[in-house]
Amino acid sequence: MKATQQLHDLGQSLWLDNITREILDNGTLQRHIAELSVTGLTSNPTIFNEAIGSGYYDAAIRAKAKAGKAGEALFIDIALEDLRRAADLFAPIHAKTGGVDGWVSMEVSPLLAADTAGTIAAAKDIFAAAQRRNLFVKIPGTPEGIPAIEEAILKGVPVNVTLLFSREQYLAAAEAYLRGIERRLAAGLDAVVESVASVFVSRWDRALGAEVPAELHNRLGTATSALTYRAYLDLLASDRWKKLAAQGAHAQRLLWASTGTKDPKLSANFYVEALAAPGTVDTMPEKTLLAFAKDGKVGAAMAADGGDAEALLAQYARAGVDVDALATKLQVDGAKAFVDSWNELMRRIATKSAALAAA
């Protein structure tokens, strides 16, 4: 049995952190679903930027530019065309799991990160334009994004909360989700609006590099994840959540993101193996997915009590690492990186459109 199937049987959903028209056209995504237990996918501007740079979208860009589309509107059209096709491939999984699994994701413009009202409006527009029930709108879990997450849930828009790094950031996103569901119930609305909370893992270790003692290299990402997982389980065991679940609400699932290794000395399977946790999602770059399917090992599930995470974090503190400050920095830097990727994507689309029009 493939390691991917074993992980699926453990109770974790495996999603692909990639979407291109090419893997839709050549059947690669369908094979990943059939052979590697993939049950959803995520996307981001960097992924689309690289795909558009390959030339595979030239005909689509030319046609849309000729029809008067440009910039963000052109990109959203192209992205949603791909994501609708992917969503249709995952539709049987979505139906079989009662809407819990089988999702694709599309994010709002990161230029709206500090604009709560603009983010809410964009989230509603993207979900409506997608015309697919199994499409998450990605909203960053930044301080400015938290109110938008609550309002989106209230309005019935499924949300993938992104850019979470710490337990505290996760809990803020979970609180926004709970408030959104509670407000829906108070208004007499259906309690079911799906959501995932995406916690980024490997960026912790890349940020520190070799700045800490050797015994602490590449351990901070999994330590903070372990604490977050414990908080996730504690929330699901709380009276507040049980009351909502009794009224039909579905849990906001914890999703592990940034699970590809950055340190060449690490096994490609390092984070995937360490983050095996029932009831969660792991979204993997294609390279990581294939490596794990080939020679990954599924051992014991993550400890419900966080294992030795608290002791490890105490070691980091003694080594001079301010984990809370680093979590804030990672979120701020991540938001900036998304803006940079978005701007690069818009420049590429403008350049492509002009070159194709002149050709």
Nearest CA-CA partner of 227 in 282, 277, 157, 300: 277
* Structure tokens given for 169: 């950031």
Burial of 129 (0-12, 13-18, 19+ CB in 10 A): middle
Could you confirm whether 138 is annotated as catalytic? yes
- 159 bridge partner residues: 137, 195
Q: Count of CB atoms within 10 A of residue 98's CB? A: 11
- Catalytic residue (choose from 2, 138, 265, 297): 138
Distance, in Å, from the CA atom of 49 to the CA atom of 69, rounded to the nearest integer, reads 17
Three-state SS letters, the chain:
CCHHHHHHHHCCEEEEECCCHHHHHCCHHHHHHHHHCEEEEECCHHHHHHHHHCCCCHHHHHHHHHCCCCHHHHHHHHHHHHHHHHHHHHHHHHHHCCCCCCCEEEECCHHHCCCHHHHHHHHHHHHHHHCCCCEEEEEECCCCHHHHHHHHHHCCCCEEEEEECCHHHHHHHHHHHHHHHHHHHHCCCCCCCCEEEEEECHHHHHHHCCCCCHHHCCCHHHHHHHHHHHHHHHHHCCHHHHHHHHCCCCCCEEEEECCCCCCCCCCCCHHHHHCCCCCCEEEECHHHHHHHHHHCCCCCCCCCCCCCHHHHHHHHHHCCCCHHHHHHHHHHHHHHHHHHHHHHHHHHHHHHHHHHHHC
**Catalytic positions, please?**
138
